[in-house]
Amino acid sequence: MILVKNVSKSYKSVRALIDFSYDFEAGIYAILGPNGSGKSTLMNVMTGNLKADSGAIVMGEGVGVPDYMLGYVPQYPGMYSGFTAFEMLDYVGILKNAEQRERQISRLLSAFDLEEYKNKKVGSLSGGTKQRLAIAQAFMGAPKLVILDEPTAGLDPLQRVKVKNFLAAQSEKMTIIISTHIVSDVENIANEVIFLKQGKIALSGGLDKILQIEGKCFCAPAEKMPQGFSGVHRLCGADVRIIAGQKPFDGANPVVPELEDVYLSIFGMGEEQ
């Protein structure tokens, strides 16, 4: 559906993306990586907000993604504060020449629990409510590609679950690309995961491939971890999960890896999260 071919982008001497290539079909794709890995640069190139130094975005027979086929939520979304929630969605629908706008608006207001804010000004809404409205507007006009940069920032756990359910329900008819630091937001809904490291793909594919680090993930009661242990690990309640090439200490046993374990195996604990 959307082919990204050898895209590179630099900011003076900093190479943010290096020959990035990927074939995106319908489904949910998660882009994971620490700050500075190139995630936002990739999002901005795909939406046309940044011009790549080289490479191309191909959709169907054309180069680039037409605006009416694109839905986008930047990391810090801006909306017209004087518009009501209804007017904001209607405005986006007009820009995309959307059919049956009122029907689409009604559906999106319901899906994101925004009915009670329909006639309230955007400027009066709470941060979490604005974020839900920002996500809702991305789906106006039945886009073919939706790009979400840190979409669940500011949402409470219940709203995060509702957003995830909505995204999963839409994924069969469009391409949804999510850039996030919250691994749990994509672990159960992403069809494919792309780990970006210093502008390059470190690992990518479906979860069945991504989670193939058996023999490298261990779990033990936290009390058994030696004092001063400096290996790659994360605390999970009373237990500790460790990433290592061999059994790190007595009492640590191999366990089935989770997506966050894979993240740690790639980026370790020394990079900015």
Where along the chain do its domains lie? 2-209, 214-256
The pLDDT of residue 269: 60
pLDDT at 263: 93
pTM > 0.85: yes or no = yes
Tokens representing 162 are 């509702």
C-alpha 46/C-alpha 73 separation (Å) is 12
What's the pLDDT at 182? 81
* Averaged pLDDT in 10-residue chunks for the chain of 273 residues: 95 96 97 92 94 93 83 94 98 96 98 98 97 98 95 91 95 95 87 96 94 87 94 95 94 94 84 41
Instruction: Of 180, 208, 209, 182, give the one whose Cα is nearest residue 196.
Output: 180
Domain 2-209 belongs to what architecture?
Answer: 3-Layer(aba) Sandwich (3.40)
Return left, alpha or beta for 163; rule: phi > 0 is left, psi -120 to 50 is alpha, else beta: alpha
pLDDT score at 271: 45
Residue 166 CB: number of other CB atoms within 10 A? 16
State how far the Cα of 218 lies from the Cα of 229, in Å rounded to an integer: 14
